[in-house]
């Protein structure tokens, strides 16, 4: 038997499972029947085997059978020899070489050398600083073994800003500004994946520790209501805490270990504790000597190079009432003239208190002394408790030549004038009050006309009426009676009365401003009412019986009326008194008429 080729080349995927069959080329034997090719043999046959098949024409051929799993990564090439035997005796044979190449399949995943890596990098490292180079191996060929690297979903955005990884080389580098105080440790989750089909990625974790450098100076915080100003009483004793200080350094280790001190020669000291410091009073405070201090705290860390910072603030000393008022001199002596007037200037004393506010507000008072022409002046401040001091004042009297004190005379004159004015005002007020309430009626006679009647009241004379006749006010003696009739020529015209007023010891003088005539709303047109009115003004018109003019401005509620009768009715009504008062609400209120028109109130 003979094969058509000297060598048979086959490629079998490593993914071929056991039992996989691959047909082989048949050997040719020109003999027929039992002398033709009867069987095939494979040597060696560890992984593969041959299975003989018969065609329909009776010829036989062989199939290569995969008996075990193939692994290209273990062995990628196999060489065998196939022998074809006929049925003769002895049999003839023919051979051919078989070369099998196991082809790769993506049956291997990338693999990292370690599942976790730990590296460190200094803070403030510049960009592109290498951190670590990762390597994942994949024994597959071609794209099946080509690995790419990347961060996967568990890496946050901040970490991606600070680090990056090269997808082909696996090199991790710094891309952002690393700050130890912001973050000490970063964890990078990296995956490696080949480019073959159905690739399964590999994973590892990289822990990056940031190394601290001394890049932060100490920070000083003053724990007070006002970080720029601290107030303390001048009476604060030594050891009194005026402020708390907290110093922090974000660096670690020696870089963050801070020492503080208080600068300058001041009556304060700094007491350090584990987590804070205090500023204490370390001397006597006196606001009057030094009312404020500017303190500076300096803090230094232990790094290399050393960093330091300073904090300045003001300490204001508040006032206490610790100073007595102080006179400019303890003893005052002044020479004064004898017979001086009260209130005359002697001298001025002054006491000074350096305290503030009420503590420094000084009041003075005189303290009597047992010695003549000598006294003490007491100066007292307004603090609590109050402090005081005194000074002695000595007066030396000098004989006076009797000079006139004009200021005293002026004061006495002003006082006298004021007294006179006061008495006058009281008298005027009493008189005005009496005028407003007094009601008087006057006696008049021989009045032929109303004009004459008015003249009687105005002139106050008892002469015979020519154009106007007189009327006299009632005398003081007549005033003592309740009512008294007065008549001239035997005819009584009117009477007077005071009503309920108290009697007066003085006569009531009447003026024309106190008289007016008002026509009464009755049937007798020849009767007129004479009215005493204290509220009349000085510029009045007087009623003339013929011309019918009336005075203006008198309130009706203050009017008292007297009837004046004609000559025919005078005798019959001689004993009749016409005295009528009314108010604004009375139903019989008389009307005031001017030229036939009602006079407004």
Interval 152-168: pLDDT, tens? 878 899 999 999 999 99
Any domain includes 305? yes
> For strand 130-133 and strand 171-174, is the pairing parallel, antiparallel, or unpaired?
antiparallel
Same domain, 350 and 425: no
pLDDT the model gives residue 435: 66
Same domain, 263 and 370: no
Give residue 184's domain range: 111-211
The mean of the pLDDT values for the chain is: 76
Same domain, 174 and 54: no
Q: Which domain-ending residue is among 284, 318, 352?
A: 318
Any domain includes 468? yes
Distance, CA of 322 to CA of 572 (rounded, Å): 104
Same domain, 87 and 131: no
Same domain, 181 and 287: no
237 vs 494, residue with greater confidence: 237
pTM: 0.46
134 vs 511, residue with greater confidence: 134
Same domain, 389 and 505: no
Of the ranges 5-19, 214-228, 458-472, which one carries the lowest mean pLDDT score? 458-472
Phi-psi region of 460 (alpha: psi -120 to 50; beta: other; left: phi over 0): left
> For strand 331-337 and strand 388-398, is the pairing parallel, antiparallel, or unpaired?
parallel
Same domain, 334 and 458: no
* pLDDT tens for each residue of 2-26: 998 889 999 998 888 898 898 888 8
3-state helix, strand, coil in the chain (%, to 5): 15, 35, 50
Average pLDDT over residues 465-473: 40
Any domain includes 19? yes
Same domain, 346 and 494: no
* pLDDT tens for each residue of 313-371: 999 999 999 999 999 999 999 888 887 788 888 889 999 999 999 999 999 999 988 88
Of the ranges 28-32, 163-167, 256-260, 511-515, which one carries the lowest mean pLDDT score? 511-515
Under DSSP, is residue 417 helix (H, G, I), strand (E, B) or coil? helix
Q: Which residues contact 570 (CB under 8 A, 6 or more apart)?
A: 491, 493
Both ends of the chain: CA-CA distance in Å? Answer: 170
pLDDT the model gives residue 31: 84
Average pLDDT over residues 211-225: 89
Distance of CA 95 to the CA centre of its chain: 108
pLDDT tier at 503, thresholds 50, 70, 90: very low
Same domain, 287 and 223: yes
Distance, CA of 84 to CA of 536 (rounded, Å): 173
Average pLDDT over residues 426-441: 69
Distance, CA of 274 to CA of 543 (rounded, Å): 114
Same domain, 61 and 201: no
Q: Which domain-ending residue is among 192, 211, 230?
A: 211
* pLDDT tens for each residue of 93-124: 999 999 999 988 888 889 999 999 999 999 98
Same domain, 516 and 561: yes
Any domain includes 348? yes
> Which CATH number is 384's domain given?
2.60.40.60
Any domain includes 2? no
Residue spans of beta strands (DSSP E) within 104-228: 111-112, 116-122, 130-133, 136-137, 147-151, 163-165, 171-174, 185-194, 202-211, 219-223
Token pair in block for residue 424 = 């006058």
Any domain includes 347? yes
Q: Which domain-ending residue is among 431, 446, 475?
A: 431
Q: Which residues contact 564 (CB under 8 A, 6 or more apart)?
A: 447, 450, 453, 493, 494, 527, 528, 529, 530
Average pLDDT over residues 509-537: 42
Same domain, 492 and 544: yes
Distance, CA of 306 to CA of 106 (rounded, Å): 59
pLDDT tier at 595, thresholds 50, 70, 90: very low
Q: Domain count of the chain?
A: 6
Any domain includes 1? no
Q: Which residues contact 408 (CB under 8 A, 6 or more apart)?
A: 341
* Percentage of the chain exceeding pLDDT 90: 38
């Amino acid at each position: 038997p003979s094969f058509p080729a000297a060598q048979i080349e086959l490629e079998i995927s490593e993914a071929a499972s056991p039992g996989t069959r691959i047909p082989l080329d048949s050997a040719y034997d020109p003999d027929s029947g039992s002398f033709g090719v009867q069987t095939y043999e494979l040597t060696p046959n560890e992984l593969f085997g041959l299975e003989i098949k018969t065609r329909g024409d009776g010829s036989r051929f062989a199939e290569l059978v995969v008996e075990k799993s193939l692994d290209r990564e273990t062995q990628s090439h196999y060489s065998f020899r196939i022998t074809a035997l006929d049925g003769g005796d002895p049999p003839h044979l023919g051979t051919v070489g078989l070369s099998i190449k196991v082809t790769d399949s993506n049956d291997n995943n990338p693999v990292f050398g370690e599942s976790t890596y730990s590296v460190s990098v200094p803070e403030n490292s510049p960009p592109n600083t290498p951190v670590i180079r990762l390597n994942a191996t994949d024994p597959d060929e071609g794209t099946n073994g080509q690995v790419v690297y990347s961060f996967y979903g568990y890496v946050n955005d901040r970490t991606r800003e600070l680090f990056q990884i090269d997808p082909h080389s696996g090199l991790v580098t710094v891309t952002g500004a690393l700050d130890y105080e912001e973050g000490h440790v970063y964890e990078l989750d990296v995956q490696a994946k080949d480019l073959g089909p159905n690739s399964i990625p590999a994973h590892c974790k990289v822990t990056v520790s940031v190394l601290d450098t001394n890049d932060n100076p100490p920070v000083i915080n003053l724990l007070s209501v006002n970080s720029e100003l601290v107030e303390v009483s001048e009476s604060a004793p030594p050891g009194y805490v005026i402020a708390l200080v907290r110093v922090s350094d974000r660096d670690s280790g020696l870089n963050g270990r801070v020492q503080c001190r208080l600068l300058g020669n001041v009556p304060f000291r700094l007491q350090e504790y584990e987590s804070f410091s205090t500023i204490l009073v370390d001397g006597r405070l006196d606001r009057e000597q030094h009312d404020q201090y500017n303190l500076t705290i300096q803090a230094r860390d232990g790094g290399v190079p050393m960093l330091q910072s300073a904090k300045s603030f003001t300490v204001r000393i508040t006032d206490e009432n610790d100073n007595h008022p102080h006179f400019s001199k303890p003893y005052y002596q002044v020479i004064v003239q004898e017979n001086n007037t009260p209130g005359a200037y002697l001298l001025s004393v002054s006491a000074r208190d350096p305290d503030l506010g009420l503590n420094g507000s000084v009041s003075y008072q005189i303290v009597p002394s047992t010695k003549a022409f000598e006294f003490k002046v007491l100066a007292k401040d307004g603090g609590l408790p109050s402090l005081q001091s005194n000074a002695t004042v000595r007066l030396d009297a000098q004989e006076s030549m009797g000079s006139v004190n004009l200021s005293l005379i002026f004061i006495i004159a002003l006082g006298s004038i004021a007294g006179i004015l006061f008495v006058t005002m009281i008298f005027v007020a009493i008189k005005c009050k009496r005028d407003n309430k007094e009601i008087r009626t006057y006696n008049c006679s021989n009045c032929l006309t109303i004009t004459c009647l008015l003249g009687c009241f105005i002139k106050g004379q008892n002469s015979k009426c020519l154009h106007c006749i007189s009327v006299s006010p009632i005398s003081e003696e007549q005033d003592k009676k309740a009512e008294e009739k007065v008549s001239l020529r035997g005819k009584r015209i009117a009477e007077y009365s005071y009503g309920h007023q108290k009697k007066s010891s003085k006569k009531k003088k009447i003026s024309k401003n106190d008289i007016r005539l008002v026509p009464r709303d009755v049937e007798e047109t020849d009767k007129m009412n004479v009215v005493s009115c204290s509220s009349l003004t000085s510029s009045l018109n007087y009623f003339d019986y013929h011309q019918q003019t009336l005075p203006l401005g008198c309130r009706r509620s203050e009017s008292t009326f007297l009837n004046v009768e004609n000559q025919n009715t005078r005798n019959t009504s001689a004993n009749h008194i016409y005295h009528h008062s009314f108010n604004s609400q009375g139903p019989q209120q008389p009307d005031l008429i001017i030229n036939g028109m009602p006079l407004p109130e």
